[in-house]
Structure 1
Amino acid sequence: MDSVRAARLLQGVRAAALSGQEPPVEPRPVIEQSWDRMLRSGVDPDHDFRAGLLALEDLEERRRTSQLHEIMPVLREGLVSIADAAQHIMVVADADGRVLWREGHSTVLRKADGHGFEPGADWRESTVGTNGVGTPLVVRRPVQVFSAEHFVRTHHSWTCAGSPVTDPRDGKLIGVVDISGPIDTMHPATLALVHSVTRLAEAELRTRHLAALDRLRTMALPVLSRLPGRALVVDENGWTAAVTGMPPVDRIALPKSLSSGRTWLASLGECAAEELPGGGWLLRPAPADPDAPDPQATTSVVLDLRSGRHSSVTLSGGAGSWAHDLSPRHAELLYLLATHPSGRTASGLAEDMFGDPARTVTVRAELSRVRRYLAGLLDHRPYRFREDADVEVLLPDDPRELLPHSTAPAVLRARQT
């Protein structure tokens, strides 16, 4: 089907969806779910709304402080020349949906200006509707939005393919890379290209991270050699650079905020934390004290899923409280465990998450990572929270907003309740 016929068909699908009628064909699930979010949030499907552009000094500050600037050479090399030759543009936006960079074919850049698709613009889904910048930021996976799949009618002459960027150092979403252009210039392989180049950019961040860990290790080894007992040096994201007196671990989950002094870490217990010059932390676990309060006693677990963008878990017990941001996958897993207090087998969790009970290897690998920061709070055979843990789940007011990035069958069912 050519692009003109496809655009006409999608216009009929969109019109039916907006009027509550039966569409000629079903929209793709990622588009249907986005349209549903737009209808609930009150985005106008027929009128283009534009939030104010960032002031130039604010835009430059965001560019300077964003991790995205570290990967711009990779993105330019992989995408800009192709975009220019194909009459497309490359757009790079931060995790707030603000366009930070925009490069490519000059004619298409001028057309983008007419859509408000310019540096400093706000292209969140909640502002401009379904699109190749805002929608990947919500669902946390690559998305192509073709013509009338855009919720707002004035964007129907446009096609976008966007892929989110995650910082491998802390697992956080830092932005999205998008290729956009007129509907008659977009190729079906564009999304795969954008996704591949985005993965190369993330690999560049990983390489930089390993180099930084090597530098921290060089500084840390003389410090550790003079210390008795157990100690380790980690970077600001908890990745281990050096260790002494204890088995090495890849990463220690750190709380949202850490300061020098006595602190409690879920995986190590009570520790002395000391910030090191140039970044990183020296952690010295305290010797076991039989008279100290049991860190697992009367433990409460609060799983906060109220925000569609950020999820966290907070632990409180005899040794204090500790909070940790969750990755999208770990938020899914902990939600499923919290809703099954009697426990789930690995195959049951695989069925809940993937609709495939055979994917137990993936489930077990993720749960082993979760157990690093939940320590003794998770039992296995079956997997569940410890019986004496008080588990509370904070959910969004609207069930349909539960973990919007998730495609897990069990989460999809929960959104319908």
Structure 2
Amino acid sequence: MTNDQGVARMRAEVAASWERSAAAGVEVDQRAAPIAIDVPDLRGQREAHPLARVFPLLDDVLGREVSDCGAVMALADAEGTLLWISGHPDKLRKAERIGFVEGSNWDERLAGTNAPGLALATGRDAMVTREEHFRSSVRSWSCAATPIHDPGTSQLLGVLDVTGGDTLVVPQTMAMVRAAARLAEAELARHLTPPPAQDRPTGLRVLLELLGRNEALIGIDDGHGAVSQVRLSRRHSEIVALLAASPRGLTGDELSVLLYEEDGGASTLRAELNRLRGLLGTDLLASRPYRLTAPIAGDWLAVEAQLAAGDLRAAMRGYDGPILPRSSAPGIVQLRDSLAASLRQSLLQSRAPDLMSAWTRSSWGRDDYDMWVAQRAVVPANSPIHTLIEGQLHRLDAEFA
């Protein structure tokens, strides 16, 4: 079976993973996954990792069952490096032949399509069976994986995986892995202790999510760990985004110019602001000038900061789409275009085929002709993705000729 034939019969998320793997330069005949941590350094990495607290629990509730089924259990960090592996001795020896060993990295950009790598890439449960694996050496295996998050911060800590033979390819496997991961998160939550009262932050904080959303999601942290979330209307989303981008505040006239394509009228704006104040509270939305009175943390601000720091990969991971994509408010259009242009220019200069591929696979980047051309220039001519690139360029030539 050729790669093209395999992709044609695959689930969409697996086919997309094959594209990412090919774009990153993974070879189909690559025998083993790369080693990221040498054995002498592994102990220190384990001891310092938050999941060290729950590995014994996972090994007890899941590892034993997996071993009895003739399979192996693995726990990877957020970068895809396998920190712990346990299971049936015979399967462990066979897994060594494909580099499925402690210290190896199974990020799909390094090891090709596999369940731990797919779970990391999508943030969701993943099952990859035999022929769905990108590398031919792994196609006698099947695996199921799910992410584990820090219950206090929601930060991704790693991935729990079960790898074995055809007996794993049943719905109960994914349910078992998911249940074990939730048990681990519950155990981590049990060890969380609130800081002393004198060390707790005071005052409100605003967490604003705008990327890829037509309506903003705003979280209001009371400074003591309680967060209330509100989904705003499109107009209120625009107002909050503009105020968040203007820490010193905006006069009514300034806000009106940024908000309305035509003269919206002072009374209309005042009515919207009064309704918004009713949602957020008078402590958060001040006037004269209009401004948000709490510190702002936003997804688009994080992407801007990562770009400024030169961390393009982190910026791409955080970029879930344009800012309020359906908004036509002049100020929002300016914010949206500025961020997208900065990210796009950094991608064009990066010569990183996997990052370019992530852009051209997206709804906002699929018609970006220049990006497809730049991607073609850095992808090897014998790569499976090269044919895809040529096909997309032909499509764009035909559509926009």
User: Could you state the TM-score of these two structures normalised by the residue count of structure 2?
Assistant: 0.58
Whether 1:216 and 2:196 are equivalent positions in the alignment is yes
Instruction: Report the equivalent of 1:368.
Output: none
Q: Which amino acid aligns with 1:337?
A: I
Q: Which amino acid aligns with 1:400?
A: S
Instruction: Report the equivalent of 1:401.
Output: 358
Residues 177, 239 of structure 1: CA spacing in aligned structure 2 closer, same or farther, 3 A cutoff?
farther
> Could you report, residue by residue, the CA deviation over 1:47-79 in whole angstroms, capped at 9, with x for unpaired residues?
314423522342122112212112224322331
Alignment of 1:10-409 (within 5 A): 12=1, 15=2, 18=3, 20=4, 26-52=9-35, 54-184=37-167, 186-209=169-192, 212-213=193-194, 215-217=195-197, 219-220=198-199, 231-232=202-203, 242=224, 250=227, 303=300, 312-314=303-305, 331-332=319-320, 335-342=321-328, 385=332, 391-393=338-340, 394-395=343-344, 396-397=347-348, 400-402=357-359
Q: Which amino acid aligns with 2:339?
A: E
Q: Which amino acid aligns with 1:159?
A: S
Deviation, structure 1 residue 110: 1.4
Structure showing the higher strand proportion among its residues:
1
Q: Is the 8 A contact 1:88 1:181 kept in 2?
A: yes
Q: Is the 8 A contact 1:123 1:133 kept in 2?
A: yes
- Greater relative contact order (Cα < 8 A, sep 6+): 2
SS state of the match for residue 101, structure 1? strand
Count of matched residue positions in the alignment of Structure 1 and Structure 2: 285
Residues 139, 403 of structure 1: CA spacing in aligned structure 2 closer, same or farther, 3 A cutoff?
farther
Q: Which runs of 5+ in 1 are unaligned?
A: 1-11, 225-230, 243-247, 253-265, 271-284, 305-310, 316-324, 344-378, 405-410
Task: Report the Cα distance in structure 1 between the residues aligned to 2:203 and 2:184, rounded to whole angstroms.
Answer: 30
Q: Is the 8 A contact 1:338 1:391 kept in 2?
A: no
SS state of the match for residue 116, structure 1? coil
Q: Is the 8 A contact 1:220 1:241 kept in 2?
A: no
Q: Is the 8 A contact 2:32 2:99 kept in 1?
A: no
Q: Which amino acid aligns with 1:312?
A: V
SS state of the match for residue 203, structure 1? helix
Task: Report the Cα distance in structure 1 between the residues aligned to 2:163 and 2:52, rounded to whole angstroms.
Answer: 20
Q: How many percent identity over aligned positions? A: 25
> Could you report, residue by residue, the CA deviation over 1:292-351 in whole angstroms, capped at 9, with x for unpaired residues?
99889xx9x9948xxxxxx62459xxxxxxxxx9997x843xx343543416xxxxxxxx
Q: Which runs of 5+ in 2 are unaligned?
A: 206-219, 230-243, 249-282, 307-313, 349-354, 369-401
Deviation, structure 1 residue 164: 1.4
Task: Report the Cα distance in structure 1 between the residues aligned to 2:322 and 2:9, rounded to whole angstroms.
Answer: 29
> Could you report, residue by residue, the CA deviation over 1:374-395 in whole angstroms, capped at 9, with x for unpaired residues?
xxxxx9xxxx849789842214
Task: Report the Cα distance in structure 2 between the residues aligned to 1:183 and 1:303, rounded to whole angstroms.
Answer: 43
Q: Which amino acid aligns with 1:340?
A: R
Q: Is the 8 A contact 1:84 1:104 kept in 2?
A: yes
Q: Which amino acid aligns with 2:38?
A: A
Deviation, structure 1 residue 163: 0.7
Task: Report the Cα distance in structure 1 between the residues aligned to 2:191 and 2:176, rounded to whole angstroms.
Answer: 23
Q: Which moved more, 1:167-176 or 1:142-151?
A: 167-176
Q: Is the 8 A contact 1:144 1:191 kept in 2?
A: yes
Task: Report the Cα distance in structure 1 between the residues aligned to 2:167 and 2:142, rounded to whole angstroms.
Answer: 9
SS state of the match for residue 128, structure 2? strand
Residues 402, 189 of structure 1: CA spacing in aligned structure 2 closer, same or farther, 3 A cutoff?
farther
Q: Is the 8 A contact 2:32 2:98 kept in 1?
A: no
Deviation, structure 1 residue 165: 1.5
Residues 195, 388 of structure 1: CA spacing in aligned structure 2 closer, same or farther, 3 A cutoff?
closer
